[in-house]
Amino acid sequence: MKTYDVVIVGGGFTGLTAAYVLAKNGKSVKLLESEGEPGGLAGTFQFADHVKVEKFYHHWFNNDLFVPELVKELGLEGDITLHATQTGMYFNGRIWKLSSPLDVLRFEALSLVDRIRLGLLVFQVRKVKDWKKIEHLSVREWLEPLCGSKVYKVVWEPLLKAKFSIYSEEINAVWMWKKLALRGSTRNRKGGEQLAYFKGGFGRLSQVLVNAIEDLGGSVELNQKVVSVKTDGDRIQSLETKDKSIAGVQFIFTPALPIIADILEGVVDSASLSKLRRVNYLGNICLVVRLNRSLSSTYWLNVNDPGFPFVGVIEHTNFDSPANYEGLHVVYLSRYVAPEDEVWKLNDEAYFNDAIMHLKKMFPTLEQNWIVDYRIWRAEFAQPITEKGYSGYVPSQDTPFANAWISTMAQIYPEDRGTNYAIRDGYRIAERVTKI
Ligand SMILES: Cc1cc2nc3c(=O)[nH]c(=O)nc-3n(C[C@H](O)[C@H](O)[C@H](O)COP(=O)(O)OP(=O)(O)OC[C@H]3O[C@@H](n4cnc5c(N)ncnc54)[C@H](O)[C@@H]3O)c2cc1C
Is residue 276 within 8 A of residue 262, CB to CB? The reply is no
Q: Which atom of ligand 1 is nearest to the CA of 32?
A: 43
Shared domain check, 403 and 276 = yes
Of 32, 228, 417, which is best to mutate to test ligand 1, by the most ligand atoms within 8 angstroms of its C-beta? 417
Low-confidence ranges of the chain (pLDDT < 50): none
Q: Which domain holds residue 132?
A: 100-191
Do the domain assignments include residue 356? no
For residue 427, give the amino acid letter. Y
32 close to ligand 1 (CB < 6 Angstrom): yes
Q: What are phi and psi of 407, to 5 degrees?
A: -135, 105
Shared domain check, 407 and 272 = yes
Q: How crowded is the C-beta side of 260, counted as CA atoms within 13 Å?
A: 31
Shared domain check, 218 and 69 = yes
Shared domain check, 116 and 239 = no
What are the angstrom distances between the C-alpha of 88 and each of 104, 109, 185, 216, 331?
A: 11, 14, 18, 44, 15
- The whole-number pLDDT of residue 282 equals 97
Shared domain check, 173 and 222 = no
Domain end: 191, 216, 232, which one?
191
**3 state SS of 338:** coil
Distance in Å, CA 107 to ligand 1 centroid: 36
Q: What are phi and psi of 76, to 5 degrees?
A: -120, 30
Shared domain check, 211 and 73 = yes
Shared domain check, 217 and 169 = no
Classify strands 404-406 and 245-253 as parallel, antiparallel or unpaired: parallel
Do the domain assignments include residue 322? no
- The whole-number pLDDT of residue 183 equals 61
Do the domain assignments include residue 136? yes
Q: Which residues of 264-280 are buried (b: 16+ CB within 10 A; e: fewer)?
A: beeebeeeebebbeebb
Which residue, among 429, 340, 344, has the nearest Cα to 378 in the 3D structure? 344
Do the domain assignments include residue 121? yes
Chain centroid, CA 188 distance in Å: 24
Shared domain check, 394 and 270 = yes
Q: At what angle do helices 139-147 and 157-164 cross, to 10 degrees?
A: 160
310 close to ligand 1 (CB < 6 Angstrom): no
For residue 313, give the amino acid letter. V
384 close to ligand 1 (CB < 6 Angstrom): no
Of 209, 222, 419, which is best to mutate to test ligand 1, by the most ligand atoms within 8 angstroms of its C-beta? 419
CATH label of the domain that carries residue 31: 3.50.50.60
Do the domain assignments include residue 331? no
- The whole-number pLDDT of residue 104 equals 85
Do the domain assignments include residue 212? yes
Q: For the chain, what is the domain count?
A: 2
Domain end: 167, 191, 215, which one?
191
Do the domain assignments include residue 92? no
Do the domain assignments include residue 357? no
Q: Distance (Å, rounded) from C-alpha 184 to C-alpha 122? A: 7
Q: What is the pLDDT of residues 259-276, one digit of tens each?
A: 999 999 999 999 999 999
Q: Distance (Å, rounded) from C-alpha 383 to C-alpha 286? A: 13
Shared domain check, 275 and 209 = yes
Shared domain check, 217 and 183 = no
DSSP string, 213-241: HHHTT-EEESS----EEEEETTEEEEEE-
Is residue 366 within 8 A of residue 360, CB to CB? The reply is yes
Domain end: 147, 163, 191, which one?
191
Shared domain check, 210 and 177 = no
Which residue, among 17, 16, 19, has the nearest Cα to 6 in the 3D structure? 19
Shared domain check, 214 and 163 = no
User: Which strand (E) or helix (H) includes residue 158?
Assistant: helix 157-164
CB proximity list for 57: less than 8 A, separation 6 or greater: 286, 314, 316, 332, 334
